[in-house]
Amino acid sequence: MTTKMKLGVLTGGGDCPGLNAVLRAVVKTAINDYEMEVVGFLDGYEGLIENRYRKMVSSDVSGILTLGGTILGTSNRADPFHFPVLQNDEYIYLDRSSQALQNFERLGLDALIAIGGDGTMAASNGMAQKGLNVIGVPKTIDNDLYGTDQTFGFDSALATASEAIDKIHSTAQAHHRVMIIEVMGRYSGWLALASGVASGGDIVLIPEMPYQIDVICDKIRTRNRDGRNFSIIVIGEGAKPEGGEMVVKRIIANSPDKIRLGGISNQLAAQIEGITTLETRVTILGHLLRGGGPTAFDRILASRFGTAAVHLAFQKKFGFMVGLHGNEIGQVPIADVAGKNRKIEADSSLLKTALSLGTCMGVDSLDVLRSQQVPV
């Protein structure tokens, strides 16, 4: 008789819709297909480091497919190689990766499925190099993870952003205002560009294309002259003016990703009002984009990712991250994912669609496409 495999699973980084759908798929596939035992670590890698976990059976994941958040909890500060420990009212940082590996081995686990974004994949790559049998599942509303055409969580955040922008349209039109909607996305503009196209945004500003304030104001004036006396601007939190810097909202000292962006929309609004004298209002969607249940697309994608990760574990194909490639689920080495950021490229079909629809990108967009200024 063969010994049953024992599987660990954790959810790391920021929360997003679809995490529970992956957990459900992992647990059900592990039990139904392979009769595996499953252990869920609490609060991401923090649970593995501190040996906090719970055994998981099918009844634990019943009814969670549509729920937002994660029943295991998560943490975006739990880097095993740079783990914050409070001593004398100050944080010091320790390498707790060996402790995490020891806990994994003491529990008799055969593999760990780590669900998360770039921070979780970077930590998982480091742990894989130390001998941990890990498989990654890509998660983020930002859609900026290398190695997959789309992450789960993105479609849900896009639906939330699009609905919010749709509602702002009516008040912008009624009051003849310029309305700026700021969305998350960090250093990539996928969420801003997609929600702008989905909601008919007049101007879309993304981190990959530093904007020119004169181009933006000219677009607004042109719309007014044509009788369209309101404008909708969608801006990614990582956008910046040409020759300027991103707006940093705060610094989190005890976090692997210390910079928290936010507030560029307020800076832009002041500039537009000063130049055009038009009333300009700001809405920052912020963490609203992470909340709520997943869309049908994300429920399906998360489920496909979860089942695929378990199949890889059974096949002992460790050190890979599952991903969406076209319409199929494939895998890519986690080492190829760690430390990389997926940005909008010059040949992006979504960017070209926005330009064909007449969307202003805050620059002379045709020149951008010709000169390949949008970074790979």
Note whether 220 and 323 are same-domain residues. Answer: no
Q: What is the pLDDT of residues 277-329, one digit of tens each?
A: 999 999 999 999 999 999 999 999 999 999 999 999 999 999 999 999 999 99
Contact 244, 210 (CB under 8 A): yes
Decide the pairing of beta strands 320-325 and 328-333.
Answer: antiparallel
3-class secondary structure, 256:
coil
Within a domain: residue 1?
no
Q: Helices H, strands E: what count in the chain?
A: 12, 15
Residues 38-42: contacts with CB within 8 Å, 24+ apart? 38/6, 38/7, 38/8, 38/9, 39/6, 39/7, 39/8, 39/9, 39/107, 39/109, 40/8, 40/9, 40/10, 40/71, 40/72, 41/8, 41/9, 41/10, 41/72, 42/72, 42/73
Note whether 332 and 230 are same-domain residues. Answer: no
Nearest alpha carbon to residue 330 among 353, 309, 302, 357: 309
Note whether 277 and 298 are same-domain residues. Answer: no
Note whether 261 and 299 are same-domain residues. Answer: no
Concatenated DSSP letters of 300-341 = HHHHHHHHHHHHHHHTT--SEEEEEETTEEEEEEHHHHTT-B
Note whether 193 and 331 are same-domain residues. Answer: no
pLDDT value for 89: 83
Looking up tokens 């459900």, which residue turns up? Answer: 24
Q: What is the pTM of this model?
A: 0.93
pLDDT value for 247: 82
Within a domain: residue 210?
yes
pLDDT value for 86: 85
pLDDT value for 248: 84
pLDDT value for 258: 63
Note whether 74 and 103 are same-domain residues. Answer: yes
Task: Look up the domain containing 40 and give its range.
Answer: 6-152+294-337
Note whether 110 and 10 are same-domain residues. Answer: yes
**C-alpha dihedral over 134, 59, 28, 115, to 10 degrees?**
-30
Q: Give the whole-angstrom CA distance, residue 231 versus residue 219.
A: 9
pLDDT value for 370: 47
Q: What is the CATH number of the domain that holds 45?
A: 3.40.50.450
CA atoms within 13 A on the CB side of 89: 0
Q: Which two tokens stand for residue 208?
A: 């990959």
Within a domain: residue 376?
no
Note whether 250 and 308 are same-domain residues. Answer: no
Note whether 355 and 219 are same-domain residues. Answer: yes
Q: Give the whole-angstrom CA distance, residue 262 versus residue 260.
A: 7
Nearest alpha carbon to residue 153 among 249, 43, 265, 16: 16
Consecutive 10-residue runs of the chain (376 residues): their mean pLDDT? 85 95 98 97 97 97 97 92 88 93 97 96 96 97 96 98 96 92 95 98 96 96 93 96 84 63 91 94 95 97 98 98 97 94 92 94 68 44
Q: Of all helices (H) and strands (E), which one includes residue 369?
A: helix 365-371
Beta strands in 184-291 (DSSP E): 203-205, 231-236, 248-251, 259-261, 280-284
Contact 252, 228 (CB under 8 A): no
Note whether 231 and 133 are same-domain residues. Answer: no
**Partner residues linked to 37 by β-bridges:** 6
Note whether 103 and 245 are same-domain residues. Answer: no
Nearest alpha carbon to residue 38 among 137, 98, 107: 107
Q: Please pick, among 43, 110, 142, 202, the residue that the annotation labels catalytic.
A: 142
Contact 182, 264 (CB under 8 A): yes
Note whether 210 and 357 are same-domain residues. Answer: yes
Q: Tell me how many domains the chain contains.
A: 2
Q: Give the whole-angstrom CA distance, residue 133 versus residue 109.
A: 9
pLDDT value for 375: 43
Could you confirm whether 142 is annotated as catalytic? yes
Within a domain: residue 164?
yes
- Please count the residues of the chain: 376
Q: What is the CATH number of the domain that holds 213?
A: 3.40.50.460
What is the phi/psi pair of residue 107, to 5°?
-80, -5
